[in-house]
A and B are shown apart, each in its own frame.
Chain A
Amino acid sequence: MVAGSRPDVAGVERRLIAALLVGGAVAVSLGVYGRLHDPTHHALFTLFFTATLNLKAWFATVVVALALVQILTALRMYGKIKVPRVEPPWLGDVHRLSGTLAFMFSLPVAYHCLWSLGFESHADQTRRFVHSILGCFFYGAFAAKMVVVRARNLPGWVLPTVGGVVFSALVGIWLTSSLWFFRTVGFPKI
Chain B
Amino acid sequence: MLKRVVNALELVALLAAATFVVLLFAYRPTAKPAAPAAAAANPLVVGEQVFAANCSTCHGAHGEGAVGPRLSGGAVVRRYPDKADQIAVVTNGRAGMPAWKGRLTPAQIAAVVEYTRTGLNRG
Contacts and interface: CB of A to CB of B under 8 A. Distances in A.
A43 interface: yes
A115 B25 CA distance: 9
What bracket does the count of chain B residues touching chain A fall in?
20 to 34
What bracket does the count of chain A residues touching chain B fall in?
35 or more
Given A43-B61, A51-B66, A111 B6 contact: no
Question: Which of B23, B57, B61, B99 has the most chain A CB atoms closer than 10 A to its own CB?
Answer: B57
Contacts of A124: 99
A184 interface: yes
B12 A104 contact: yes
Contacts of B99: 122, 124-125
Q: Is the interface of B mostly helix, strand, loop or mixed?
A: helix
Interface in A27-44: 33, 37, 40-43
Contact of B6 (A33, A54, A96): A96
Given A37-B24, A53-B57, 12 more contacts: A41-B52, A43-B61, A50-B66, A52-B57, A53-B66, A110-B20, A111-B23, A117-B57, A122-B99, A125-B93, A184-B96, A185-B67
Interface of B: 2-3, 5-6, 9-10, 12-13, 16-17, 20, 23-24, 27-29, 52-54, 56-58, 60-61, 66-67, 93, 96, 98-99
Interface of A: 33, 37, 40-43, 50-54, 90, 93-94, 96-97, 100-101, 103-104, 107, 110-111, 114-117, 122, 124-125, 127-128, 180-181, 184-185
